[in-house]
Structures are given as structure tokens and as C-alpha cells.
């Protein structure tokens, strides 16, 4: 299948390589000359304009970050992409944005699927992402062979916008787990138990979670965007989610350095307090 890939940063570059390696005809474009050069070093055909990239493609993978970027790229595709081709949004965006863009694509004779991914940079590198798809049966079936190039699982969860709701649900659990993991291991550290050893133990206990397993790779890049989207969805749907209101506030106090200090250092910081083992005189166990 002829596939255009728009956006070849860390995720897009690896996705492009996997799609090419599965036998698809890939052509890539990015506004960054440096990124175009980087992906070209991996043997991917690169062009100098979006219009040239999409002109003959059957599937267009849009791998950008924000709603505004997805809107801009999709509307540029509508100017040059052939009728019958399909726009696929991999970014984490609003379901409303997806519905607007899907309608615009339909008016021009193009298909549309929102297919945000989970498992992040490591999943992209390994070709082991999960794709959460929103769209009609025909369009999802058409693009599934392309998505399978970089995904260990492709889930069709509902109509356009559903992929974004599913991604929001996953993100909510992920960021809640980040807060829970940090507080739990802080308790262990406080009483003199090595936090990394406790983590390894908990991974084999019923309380484990995927975030705990992959916690070394958590970068805390998108937590504000993710939680804003999730809470906006809850508000628009008239749904009270008091736990996630707290998660939204608490996750702002975490970062990758604090996690590494908790797991591997003598102390870390949380909510203005140093987290370090208690002495025996203070009630510690050691």
C-alpha cells in the first residue's frame, strides 16, 4: 500500500521504518529539515513538500502533537490527497476535532480514522504500539494492515472520535498510576525498604500495573495536556470524576528526576517534603 507519513520525529521516524519494513511504499514529510534528513538516513523516501508526499498515497499517517497541527495537516492533505485515500490521526487530540475533520474529509471524498497509539517511544521503537481506532468498519479494515506494521494490537473501539476517548481512558489510568506508584514507594522508602526492590516485588503482586513495569521510561511530557483533555470530556459529559481532579493536581508535582531519585537515590521530594528513610529513633525499621 502507498503510505504517506506526515511528521517524522521520534515516534514518526520509527513508525515509518516499520511500515516500510512490512513492504509498504512509504514517502515521508516533516516541516523540519533536520528530521527529514534523519529519517532519510534510515532509507525512507523523503520529499520537500506535504503536497508531494500525499499526492499518490492511499493512506496518510499524521503524526503530530496538537489539535491545531492535526487540523492544519489534514486540511493541507485535502488540497492534494487523492479521493478515496484515508487520513489517519495518530496524535492524542479532542474527539470533537476528529469529528470536524472527518466531516471535512467526507465532503472531499476521503476517509478518516482517529488511531492514537499507546506504549510510547519504546513501543514505537520496537514496533509494539497499540492502536485505538475510531471510524467506520470499512475505513478501519482498509488501514489495519498499515497499523499492524507498528502495532502489537489494533482495536476498533467505535465511530470517529472513539479512539481519542479510549486513549484518554488509558492516559487517565497511566497518570493515576504514576501518582499511586510514587506515593506507595515513598511509604516503602520512608520505612527503610529499598524503593526499587519494592517496585520489583510489587510487579509480581496483584497491585502491579503497566506503568510500574515501564516506569523508568515515563517522561512526564504530556500529563497536563492529557489530563486537561480527560477532564474536559468528563465536564462535557456531565460526569463527576473527583479522583482524577486530584490526579490532575498531584501529577504536576512529579517528574522523571524525582522518580529516579525515589528508586535509586538516597532521597527525593514530594509536595515540599523530603522523602528519606526514618531513623530507628524516628520510628524507622532499620
| Residue written as grid cell 520505612 | 191
**Mean of the pLDDT values across residues 235-241?**
97
Residue 204 has pLDDT above 90, yes or no: yes
Residue 14, pLDDT score: 98
Residue 13 has pLDDT above 90, yes or no: yes
Q: What is the pLDDT of residues 70-88, one digit of tens each?
A: 999 999 999 999 999 999 9
Mean pLDDT rounded to a whole number for the chain: 97
Residue 22 CB neighbour total at 10 angstroms: 16
Residue 218 has pLDDT above 90, yes or no: no
Residue 70, pLDDT score: 98
The CB-side HSE value for 199 (13 A sphere, CA atoms) comes to: 24
Dig out the grid coordinates for 153 from the structure.
494490537
Dig out the grid coordinates for 274 from the structure.
523530603
Confidence of residue 216 (pLDDT cuts 50, 70, 90): confident
**Mean of the pLDDT values across residues 274-281?**
96
Confidence of residue 286 (pLDDT cuts 50, 70, 90): confident
Residue 159 CB neighbour total at 10 angstroms: 16
Confidence of residue 238 (pLDDT cuts 50, 70, 90): very high
Residue 82, pLDDT score: 98
Residue 2, pLDDT score: 99
Catalytic residue positions, numbered:
167
Q: Specify the CATH number for 2-159; select among 3.40.50.300, 3.10.28.10, 3.40.50.720, 3.30.420.10.
A: 3.40.50.720
What percentage of the chain exceeds 90 in pLDDT? 97
Residue 101, pLDDT score: 99
Residue 134 has pLDDT above 90, yes or no: yes
Residue 22, pLDDT score: 98
Q: What is the pLDDT of residues 25-75, one digit of tens each?
A: 999 999 999 999 999 999 999 999 999 999 999 999 999 999 999 999 999
Residue 217 has pLDDT above 90, yes or no: no
Confidence of residue 113 (pLDDT cuts 50, 70, 90): very high
Domain ranges of the chain: 2-159, 165-275
| Residue written as grid cell 479522583 | 243
- Which class is domain 165-275? mainly alpha
Amino acid at each position: 500500500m502507498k503510505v504517506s507519513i506526515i511528521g517524522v520525529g521520534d515516534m514518526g521516524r520509527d513508525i515509518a521504518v516499520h511500515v516500510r519494513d512490512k513492504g509498504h511504499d512509504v514517502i515521508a514529510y516533516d516541516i523540519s529539515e533536520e528530521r527529514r534528513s534523519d529519517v532519510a538516513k534510515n532509507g525512507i523516501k523523503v520529499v520537500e513538500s506535504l503536497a508531494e508526499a500525499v499526492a499518490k498515497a492511499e493512506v496518510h499517517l499524521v503524526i503530530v502533537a496538537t489539535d491545531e497541527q492535526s487540523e492544519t495537516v489534514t486540511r493541507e492533505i485535502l488540497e492534494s490527497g487523492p479521493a478515496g485515500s484515508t487520513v489517519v490521526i495518530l496524535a492524542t487530540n479532542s474527539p470533537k476535532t476528529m469529528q470536524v475533520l472527518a466531516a471535512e474529509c467526507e465532503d472531499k471524498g476521503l476517509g478518516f480514522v482517529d488511531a492514537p497509539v499507546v506504549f510510547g517511544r519504546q513501543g514505537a521503537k520496537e514496533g509494539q504500539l497499540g492502536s485505538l481506532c475510531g471510524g467506520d468498519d470499512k475505513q478501519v479494515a482498509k488501514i489495519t494492515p498499515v497499523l499492524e506494521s507498528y502495532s502489537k494490537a489494533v482495536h476498533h473501539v467505535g465511530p470517529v472520535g472513539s479512539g481519542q476517548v479510549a486513549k484518554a481512558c488509558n492516559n487517565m489510568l497511566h497518570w493515576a498510576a504514576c501518582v499511586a506508584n510514587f506515593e506507595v514507594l515513598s511509604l516503602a522508602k520512608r520505612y527503610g525498604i529499598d524503593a526499587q526492590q519494592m517496585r520489583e516485588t510489587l510487579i509480581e503482586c496483584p497491585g502491579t500495573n503497566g506503568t510500574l513495569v515501564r516506569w523508568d521510561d515515563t517522561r512526564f511530557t504530556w500529563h497536563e495536556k492529557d489530563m486537561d483533555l480527560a477532564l474536559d470530556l468528563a465536564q462535557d459529559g456531565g460526569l463527576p470524576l473527583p479522583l482524577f481532579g486530584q490526579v490532575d493536581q498531584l501529577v504536576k508535582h512529579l517528574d522523571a528526576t524525582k522518580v529516579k531519585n525515589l528508586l535509586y537515590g538516597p532521597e527525593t521530594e514530594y509536595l515540599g517534603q523530603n522523602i528519606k528513610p526514618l531513623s530507628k529513633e524516628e520510628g524507622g525499621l532499620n
